[in-house]
Amino acid sequence: MSLPYTALHTFHLVVRFGTLKQTAEHLKLTESAVSHQIKRLEDKLGYALFYKSGRQLKPTPEGAQLAQELEQPFDHIDQVLLNKRPHSHNTITLYCLPSLLEPWLLPRLLAFKETNPSLELVIRYHSSAPEYLDEHSVRIGSHEANTSSPYSLKRLFSGETVPVCSPIYLSQHPTLDTTEGLLNATLLHDHSSASWEQWFTQSGHLLEQSASLIYEDFHLLKMATLAAQGVALCPEALIRQDLEMGTLVSLSEQKGNLGRYYGIEHNRYAHSNVRHLVASLT
């Protein structure tokens, strides 16, 4: 079966923009022309690609599966055709969570640079990562057990957490070795109260106190914990040195955020330099 390239690309854009109007404006066509291309493609395929949800078009299950297969190839083609200043093949951009920079990424990059001195590495915050990762970029962040990604995703290490506090806070709250003691402690939260709620549920307890101290990322959460502000669920892999030095104290062997892990993503069409970097990090 021969499928029209133009209609496939138009379908890809409708999924991205969610409306015929925006797609038509992007392609400098009429909405009728865009609609005709989608109808032509549906006739060829033999099934519907969209359904209406208010003013937006949502892909059907079949449409969503097709869109997923087309996303990276068409994004790659669009970038190659529209990028007037091609990215240097010797430059790799890394979008990384701030909490991973000092304890994990930077020591490994130093070793990588020693054996690859001609490569330029640009490090940016994970939050500034673009929607589309080109073939010269990687993204390093946390993922839940059931995470799916349109990119190649490789596991780095566990992100499961343990409850910890500073020795000073522990001396002020000697009952923290019990679940009841933790329920009455000042709990520090990362993003939301969900992690602590799940942790207590695992042990058959209900967390009734509302979240009063929420930190945007682990780095801020750890600083608050070291400053004796309360008890936090911290990724064990990122605080081993603090536990060994005694600046943080583990309060329970029960893990939280079960299944969470840190991973590195890259485009399936990644440049060989990017693949070389990923291999060195994994």
Is the pLDDT at 99 greater than 70, yes or no?
yes
Please list the residues that pair with 138 across neighbouring strands.
94, 266
Is the pLDDT at 235 greater than 60, yes or no?
yes
pLDDT given for residue 80 in this prediction: 60
pLDDT given for residue 8 in this prediction: 87
- Domain 91-157+261-281: state its class: alpha beta
Q: Do the domains 91-157+261-281 and 161-250 sit in the same CATH topology, yes or no? A: yes
CATH, domain range 161-250: 3.40.190.10
pLDDT grade for 1, boundaries at 50, 70 and 90: low
pLDDT given for residue 215 in this prediction: 85
Residue 225 backbone phi and psi in degrees, to 5? -70, -45
- The string of pLDDT tens digits covering residues 31-56 is 999 999 999 888 888 899 998 877 77
- The string of pLDDT tens digits covering residues 56-81 is 788 999 988 888 888 777 776 766 65
pLDDT given for residue 76 in this prediction: 67
User: Do residues 74 and 132 lie in contact, with contact meaning Cβ atoms separated by under 8 Å?
Assistant: no
Which residues fall within 8 angstroms of residue 41, CB to CB, at 6 or more apart? 3, 4, 7, 8, 10, 11, 49
Give the Cα separation of 218 and 141 in Å (integer): 12
Q: What is the mean pLDDT of residues 226-238?
A: 94
Sorted by where each begins, the domain ranges of the chain are 5-70, 91-157+261-281, 161-250
User: Do residues 48 and 63 lie in contact, with contact meaning Cβ atoms separated by under 8 Å?
Assistant: yes
pLDDT grade for 166, boundaries at 50, 70 and 90: very high
SS3 state of residue 128: helix
pLDDT given for residue 121 in this prediction: 93
- Domain 5-70: state its class: mainly alpha
Mean pLDDT of the chain: 87
Give the Cα separation of 108 and 11 in Å (integer): 42
Give the Cα separation of 35 and 11 in Å (integer): 9
pLDDT given for residue 88 in this prediction: 54
